[in-house]
């Protein structure tokens, strides 16, 4: 996208209120059924944990967050967690990234903004040495991620300790 009205801004600790507002908006949209079962206190605890995460990870470089604006209006956001796993032949340094919270507000969808957010975050992760980038995808976004070169991974399972 080459539209001059599109701006991506990397968010820092100084942008905490915006970061938290966006994070809670994403969670409200992704986990809307689960949110209905939570009390206000539990929801606020999740917000507090996210604030602690951002405080720590943004300062030490373990997370990159961004917001995308269209003609000055906030349209979406995204983030990438940076970490290290055991080195292997397909990731000799062990440096990895986890692309997450790629979110575009309803009125801005289908304009290529999610792809721009992903490209920005993939570039930041690569600059920081990530040799492998993971993500989880909604059904709606699978084709977007495939268009960026992501491939399906078989054999993964998860154990959710929160019921």
Domain boundaries, the chain: 6-147
Handedness of CA 16, 21, 22, 23 (dihedral sign): positive
Q: Which residues contact 160 (CB under 8 A, 6 or more apart)?
A: none
Give 123-156 pLDDT, tens digit per residue.
999 999 999 999 999 888 999 999 999 999 888 8
* Strands (DSSP E) found in 37-130: 63-70, 73-84, 95-104
Residue 7's H or E segment, with its range, is strand 6-11
CA-wise closest residue to 81 among 27, 132, 31, 34 = 132
CB 116 within 8 A of CB 1: yes
CB 104 within 8 A of CB 96: no
Q: How large a percentage of the chain has pLDDT more than 70?
A: 97
| Torsion on CA atoms 32, 138, 120, 55, rounded to nearest 10 | 40
Query: Residue 1: which pLDDT band, with cuts at 50, 70 and 90?
Result: very low
Reading the block at residue 94, the tokens are 């062990």
Residue 155: the pLDDT is 83
Average pLDDT over residues 96-119: 96
Say yes or no: domain 6-147 is CATH 3.90.550.10.
Answer: no
Q: Which residues contact 79 (CB under 8 A, 6 or more apart)?
A: 63, 64, 65, 66, 99, 100, 101, 121
**DSSP code of residue 66:** E
Q: What is d(CA 99, CA 145) in angstroms, rounded to the nearest whole number?
A: 10
Give 51-88 pLDDT, tens digit per residue.
999 999 999 999 999 999 999 999 999 999 999 999 99
Give 17-55 pLDDT, tens digit per residue.
999 999 999 999 989 899 999 999 999 999 999 999 999
């Amino acid at each position: 996208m080459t539209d001059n009205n599109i701006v991506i801004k990397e968010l820092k600790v100084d942008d905490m209120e915006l970061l938290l507002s966006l994070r809670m908006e994403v969670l409200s949209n992704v986990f809307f059924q689960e949110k209905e079962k939570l009390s206000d206190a539990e929801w606020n605890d999740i917000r507090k944990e996210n604030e602690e995460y951002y405080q720590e990870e943004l300062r030490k470089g373990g997370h990159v967050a961004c917001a995308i604006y269209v003609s000055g209006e906030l349209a979406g956001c995204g983030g990438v967690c940076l970490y290290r796993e055991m080195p292997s032949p397909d990731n000799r340094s062990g440096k990895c990234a986890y692309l997450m919270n790629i979110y575009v507000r309803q009125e801005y969808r289908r304009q290529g903004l999610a792809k721009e957010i992903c490209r920005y975050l993939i570039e930041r992760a690569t600059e920081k040495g990530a040799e492998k980038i993971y993500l989880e995808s909604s059904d709606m976004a699978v084709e977007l991620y495939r268009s960026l070169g992501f491939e399906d991974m078989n054999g993964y399972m998860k154990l959710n300790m929160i019921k």
